């Protein structure tokens, strides 16, 4: 009886379904997200200021400095624009390799249905805290640090319509905000 009820519930949700996506985030998706959060925050501002300061110091003292100072200046200038993104990609590649199954997400008037392998969950719109639009992706947060990443690769031509739909749902059904 429970199995029949589950099948009926699934059929009812499919009828009411607005959007459905099956995807697996790639290393590039995860790297792009981490770069947005590094360079879109105060940490990114500090990185830029540090790099500019080291560059200015290097230009001012280059001719009068020794080999050790020059190596430190070169490493300092490369730390945030080159080394940090490479290390972030390496970490993203490892995280993406750990994702072994596709994620199925369905969005309807009741909320969000998420299936990853055999694990399923339903999240009502009232539980969604925020939706953020970044170049190349839409982020849906269930709390301040956890959420779902839907890239333009997944959303395709529906990205604008989908974003408007999610924003309308969190504004009318919950305490969420959009950015």
Residue with tokens 């940090």: 84
**Nearest alpha carbon to residue 165 among 105, 115, 117:** 105
pLDDT tens by residue, 67-97:
999 999 999 999 999 999 999 999 999 999 9
Name the average pLDDT for the chain: 89
Instruction: Give the pLDDT band (50/70/90) at residue 13.
Output: very low
Mind giving me the DSSP string for 68-84? Answer: HHHHHHHHHHHIIIIIH
Q: In this structure, are residues 124 and 110 in contact, taking their beta carbons and an 8 Å threshold? A: yes
Cα–Cα dist 165/92, whole Å: 29
Mind giving me the DSSP string for 125-166? Answer: GGG--EEEEETTEEEEESSSS-EEEEEHHHHGGGHHHHHHHH
Tell whether the torsion through CA atoms of 77, 79, 84 and 90 is positive or negative: positive
Backbone angles phi, psi at 9, to 5 degrees: -60, -45
* Least confident span in 16-20, 43-47, 116-120, 138-142: 16-20
Is the pTM for the entire model greater than 0.75?
yes
Pairing of strands 177-178, 130-134: parallel
The SS3 assignment for 41 reads coil
The string over 60-77, giving b where at least 16 C-beta atoms fall within 10 Å of a residue's C-beta and e elsewhere, is eeeeeeeeeeeeebeebb
pLDDT tens by residue, 18-65:
899 999 999 999 999 999 989 889 999 999 999 999 999 999 999 999
């Amino acid at each position: 009886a429970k199995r029949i009820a589950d099948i009926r519930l699934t059929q009812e949700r499919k009828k009411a379904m607005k959007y459905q996506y099956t995807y697996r985030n790639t290393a590039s998706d995860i790297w792009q997200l981490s770069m947005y959060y590094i360079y879109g925050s105060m940490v990114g501002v500090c990185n830029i200021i540090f790099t500019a300061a080291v560059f200015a110091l290097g230009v001012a003292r280059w001719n009068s400095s020794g080999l050790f100072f020059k190596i430190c200046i070169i490493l300092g200038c490369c730390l945030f624009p080159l080394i940090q993104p490479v290390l972030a990609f390496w970490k993203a590649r490892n995280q993406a390799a750990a994702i072994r199954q596709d994620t199925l997400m369905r969005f309807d008037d009741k909320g969000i249905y998420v299936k990853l392998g055999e694990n399923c969950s339903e999240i009502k719109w009232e539980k969604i805290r925020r939706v953020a639009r970044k170049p190349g992706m839409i982020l849906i947060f269930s709390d301040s640090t956890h959420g779902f990443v839907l890239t333009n690769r997944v959303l395709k031509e529906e990205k604008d319509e989908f974003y408007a739909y999610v924003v309308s749902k969190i504004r009318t059904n919950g305490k969420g905000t959009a950015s």
